[in-house]
Structure 1
Amino acid sequence: MSGFTITVAQQKGGSGKTTLAVNLAVEFSRRGHSVAVLDTDPQGSLGRWFMTRRAAMNGEAGLDFATASAWGVSYELEKLLKHNEIVIVDTPPKVDSDLRPALRASDLVVVPVAVSQVDVWATESVLEMAQRERRKTLLVLNRAAPRARLTADIAGRIRELESPAAETVLNSRVIYAEVLGEGQGVVEKAARGPAAVEIRKLCNEIADILNS
C-alpha cells in the first residue's frame, strides 16, 4: 500500500474531520506505513495537534506534516508523496472551488457524517463535487449514539446517497476529543478500547478500497 492520498472532507463544521484525519494517520503509521498529514484548513487544528504531538514525543512525531492553501495542495502533495506512502488531507468545512484541488488529487475522499439530517444534506454537495472529479468516496457515520433511534434513521439515509458507506460506525466517545488535545490517536491512548477497535476496522475498509 503506497502512494495514496486520502482527503477528509465535509461541508458542515463539527463533523469530526480533523479527529478522523488524525486517527487514520496514527493507525496507518502504526501499521508500518510512512504517513504524512496535510492541513488545508485555515483554522489549523491539525497543525496544533501535530505540534502538541511533536512536543510530547521529544520532536519525533512519527509523521510528516505540511500546510497548504487550497491551490498549493498539489505542490505539497507532490513533495510529501516522494517520502511517504500515505498522505491524509484535512480540509476546511466548506464546499467551493477551493476544495477542488484536494479532491482532484485524492485516491479516496472520506466524508464523515454526524448524526443529524443537516449533516446528511451537507454531504450531498461534497459528493456532487467529488463525483464531478471522478473520485472514489466513502461515507463514515460519526459521533453516533449506538442505541438511539436517530442513529438508525441517519444510517439508513446515508445508505440512500450515491456513495458507498463504511460498515464501521464511529460512536460518540470522550476519548476522541481527549486524544486530539494530547497529540495522540485512540489506538495509542487505549489500544484495546472500543474506539481503537472502530478505527482499526475503518482503516481495514479504507485499505481494501485503496488496494482494490
Structure 2
Amino acid sequence: MTTERFAHLPHNQAADNNKQPIYEALNELDLLSSRVLEIGSGTGQHGVYFCQNSKNLTWQLTEHPANMAAVLSWHKVAESENIDNLLAPVSFDIAIDNLSQMFNNVYNAPDGFDVVYSANVLHIVSKKFAKHMIDQCADFLIRGQKLVCYGPFKQNQKFTTESNAEFDCWLRSEGYGGINDIADIEVWSQSRLKLTDWLAMPANNFLLVYQKL
C-alpha cells in the first residue's frame, strides 16, 4: 500500500509505532499463518499492515459500533490494494454482543479462527468489561487455540515502571479501567487460559500469549 493511498485516513500514532515490533513478535511466535479474530481494531492499522506483509494470514477486524467509520475507511483502501486476506470489519460491542454467537469457531471449520488478538483494549475498558471479554474469549476458543494480548501490564501486582504507574493514574482519572496484572487473565478465565509466552515490547508494553486448556 502506497503512502499516498492511506495518508488521508484516520490515523493512530501508537498503532503506527508498535505495528512493526508486534509483527516481529507474531512472526517469532509462528502466528502469521493463522486465522485471527481481533477484538477492538481501532483504525484497523494493525490488521492492514500484518495482512499486507503476510499473505498466509487471515485477519478479521471488529470495532465498537460507535467507532466503525475509521476501520471501514482503512478496509476500503486495503480492498482497493487487493489485500484480500483482511476481512471486512464487523461491529462488535463487548458489553452486549457474544463472540460465540457472532462468529463460527467449530473445530476445523474453514471459516473458524485459531487466535483471538487484542491490542491496547484491556486497560481502556472497565474492569467489568475486561473480565467479561476474557470470559468470552475462554468460551470462544477451542482447546489449544490462543489469546494474544498486547499492552501495558503489571507483574505480581506491581507496575513495571514509574511511567506506567503514572499512566495508570491518568487512565483512572479519565474513567478508563486501568492497567491489569498479567495473572488477571488466567484468573478471569477461571483457569481455562494458561500463559504460555510473554515478550517484553517497546514503550513498557508486553505481548502475552494464553492457550486454551
TM-score range, shorter chain: 0.3 to 0.5
Higher RCO (Cα < 8 Å, 6 or more apart): 1
Larger strand fraction of residues: 2
State TM-score, norm by structure 1: 0.47
Larger helix fraction of residues: 1
